Structures are given as C-alpha cells and as structure tokens.
Amino acid sequence: MLFDDRPEFQALAELEQVLANLRDGIADWRRRALRAEGERAGIEAGADVVGLQQRLLSVEAENADLHRRLDAARERLNNLLSRLRFLEEQVALEEQRS
C-alpha cells in the first residue's frame, strides 16, 4: 500500500490545500486592509476637506435635480400613456360601430 492511498495521508493533503487557500485569503484581506488604510490616511492627511465637502454638496444638488427631472419625465410619460389608451379605446369603439 502506498502512502498516497492511505486515508490519513489523503486527509492531510486536503488539509494542506485548505490551509494554502486560507493563507492566500488572509494575504488578500491584508493587502486590501493596508490599501484602505493608506487611502484613509491620504484623505485625512492631505485632502482638501472643504473642497471635498463642496464637491459632495454639488453632486447631491445635481442628484436632486436629476431626480426632479426624472419625476417630471415619468409624469409626462404617464400622461402620454393615458392619452394613448384613450385613443386606442376610441379606435376600438369606432371599429365596433363599423
């Protein structure tokens, strides 16, 4: 019987693979955490906070304007759909009379 055929060695090989995957996952999380900490430190240390706040206000105002325009367009579309339904009903009544 070869060592590879024994269940305990197969289990050990599987455990080694799980540990390798875990090691790679932890390394990935560490890289991401370090990158996020670096970005946060950059924002805290060198960012123009006032400029960022003004940009945020500008983007929020633009977003509100786009929502208003979308609501107005949606209302116009609903009005057009109502008119179209009315016209379709009128055509159907005319066809029934004919």
Tens digit of pLDDT for each residue in 21-55? Answer: 999 999 999 999 988 888 777 666 556 777 878 88
Q: Among 10-19, 21-30, 34-43, 78-87, whose mean pLDDT is lowest?
A: 34-43
Is the CB of residue 63 less than 8 Å from the CB of residue 69? no
Whether 72 and 85 share a structural domain: yes
Question: What range does the domain containing 23 cover?
Answer: 1-47
Which pLDDT belongs to residue 4? 63
Whether 26 and 67 share a structural domain: no
Return d(Cα 39, Cα 53) in angstroms, integer: 17
Whether 39 and 58 share a structural domain: no
Which pLDDT belongs to residue 1? 46
Which pLDDT belongs to residue 39? 78
Per-residue pLDDT averaged across 65-79, rounded?
A: 93
Whether 61 and 87 share a structural domain: yes
Is the CB of residue 44 less than 8 Å from the CB of residue 36? no
Whether 20 and 41 share a structural domain: yes
Whether 37 and 70 share a structural domain: no
Give the model's confidence band at 86: pLDDT under 50 very low, under 70 low, under 90 confident, else very high. Answer: very high
Of 10, 28, 47, the residue at which a domain comes to its end is 47
Of 47, 68, 85, the residue at which a domain comes to its end is 47
The owner of tokens 């379709």 is 88
Return d(Cα 61, Cα 67) in angstroms, integer: 10
Whether 56 and 71 share a structural domain: yes
Q: How many domains, the chain?
A: 2
